[in-house]
Amino acid sequence: MSAALLNAAPAQACGIDFGTSNSTAGWSRAGHSALLALEGDKLTLPSVIFFHAEDGHISYGRAALADYLEGHEGRLMRSLKSLLGTAMMDEYTDIGGRAMAFRQVLGQFIGELKGRAECTAGREFSRAVLGRPVFFVDDDAQADQRAQDTLQSIAHAAGLRDIAFQYEPIAAAFDYESQITREELVLVVDIGGGTSDFTLIRVGPERARRAERRDDILASGGVHIGGTDFDRALNLASLMPLLGLGSLLKNGRQMPSAQYFNLATWHTINLAYTKKAWAQIAELHRDAGDRPKVERLQSLVRERAGHWLAMQVEQAKIALSAAPETQIDIGRIASGQHVTLERADLDGAIDALVGKVGQTVTRLLGDAGVTAAGIDTVFFTGGSSGVPLLRERVQALAPQARCVEGDRFGSIGAGLALDAQRKFG
């Protein structure tokens, strides 16, 4: 199909970016934005699902978060993508007193995402290009392939007959390419909720017309570190010590950390609400040298407020990306109390994680045989790409390059829509 026809006719397929924190769907049409509205007029659907206990109703996205925060009884689940490639993917979880497979939960969300895209587009999609991180799982090729196969199986069950995959940073590069007028060597930096992915690629108007782009990609790499890892690190460093993490037991030994890590990690928060976990926390309280702190932990678990606290921490991270200081209201578990956090607290909490991201970029440039001086543009995308420390470290690796910020939540989805048009017509 010629480039002119591609630009004139609506694509037959869509692009789906199933993200750890937010998801999008795109459909290429001449004269229209590729991204489709998924929740009211919003182009993103937070990757959140809430199962109501009272009537079995399921809510998604912002509505799911609102239902949870309003105090409805039920089960909130978030960061579902993080389960792909893990042993938990083949396990079951309790939803309203019945066992539901985690892959069924993912299928519920992806089916809803597809249905909303079809409703906005006014047509059915049976073909799609799905985004995927460069690595679902670090340093384990079999687990990584299993993660993609699982996602493909779930998408098939949701009604997508023909499926192709594209690396998310390459999709972002396609979106950037649609906006430029000259050829460039671009380092795409995609910092999402669960992974940090990078591609070094040659882009330009002439190259955009090619059906096959393999030769334009000099290198791709990634590491399983993203925004939810930054949230967890900030939570463990600044909030969980107020609940007893790092304190001592009466015998002088350090407080066990398992329950704190569960509460600071989105997809394991509910593990802290089991009878076994509650018994362990009661034992910690009995043996604690600083009981008031553990009483806050008990209050958090009793109130099933782990997701609430995680949201508070996430909002603090976002605020500290734009301001030098912010406050967290912890009144729900400690009456009348606030915690003041500074940018330095965030930087200190995530320093080691950002260091690993920087090492990944350095290896990428080495693998490609490219010096920093050869990079024309660093293109930032992904919801967590605005974290100042991370941007500073990456920019320092290519100090002469122009820095461009894409649509943090939409570049990948728009690029996947372009790729769907190329692959399926």
Nearest to 22 by CA among 46, 50, 48: 46
Phi and psi torsions of 198, nearest 5°: -140, 145
Provide mean pLDDT across the span 268-290: 95
Strand order in the sheet with 45-46: 45-46, 22-26, 14-17, 127-132, 162-167
Burial annotation 146-155 (CB, 10 A radius, 16+ → b, else e): bbbebbbebb
Burial category of 279 from C-beta neighbours within 10 Å (exposed 0-12, middle 13-18, buried 19 and up):
exposed
Q: Where are the domains of the chain?
A: 3-181+407-424
**pLDDT digits 0-9 by tens, 312-357:** 999 999 999 999 999 999 988 888 899 999 999 999 999 999 999 9
- Angle at the Cα of 231 from the Cα atoms of 228 and 236, rounded to 5 degrees: 125
Q: Which helix H or strand E contains 115, and what residues bound it?
A: helix 102-121
What's at 146, amino acid-wise? R
Is the pLDDT at 14 greater than 90, yes or no? yes
* pTM of the full structure: 0.90
Residue 241 · residue 247 · CB < 8 Å: yes
Nearest to 135 by CA among 123, 147, 124: 147
- Predicted local distance difference test score (pLDDT) of residue 307: 93
Mutual orientation of helices 343-368 and 388-397 as an angle, nearest 10°? 30
HSE-CB for 229 with a 13 A CA cutoff: 18
**pLDDT digits 0-9 by tens, 88-121:** 899 999 898 899 999 999 999 999 999 999 999 9
Cα first-last separation, the chain:
7
Distances (CA, A) of 324 to 3, 336, 340, 393: 48, 23, 11, 18
Task: Compute the distance between CA of residue 51 and CA of residue 76 in angstroms, rounded to an integer.
Answer: 7
Report which DSSP code applies to 37. P
Q: Which residue has the tokens 């799911």?
A: 64
Instruction: For the domain made up of 3-181+407-424, give the CATH fold.
Output: Nucleotidyltransferase; domain 5 (3.30.420)
What's at 52, amino acid-wise? H
- Predicted local distance difference test score (pLDDT) of residue 320: 97
Provide mean pLDDT across the span 27-52: 95
Is the pLDDT at 17 greater than 70, yes or no? yes
Provide mean pLDDT across the span 360-365: 96
**pLDDT digits 0-9 by tens, 217-263:** 999 999 999 999 999 999 999 999 999 999 999 999 999 999 999 99
Task: Compute the distance between CA of residue 224 and CA of residue 20 in angstroms, rounded to an integer.
Answer: 12
Task: Compute the distance between CA of residue 51 and CA of residue 403 in angstroms, rounded to an integer.
Answer: 42
- Predicted local distance difference test score (pLDDT) of residue 9: 63
DSSP-H helix ranges across 193-325: 227-234, 258-264, 275-287, 291-302, 306-320
Report which DSSP code applies to 236. I
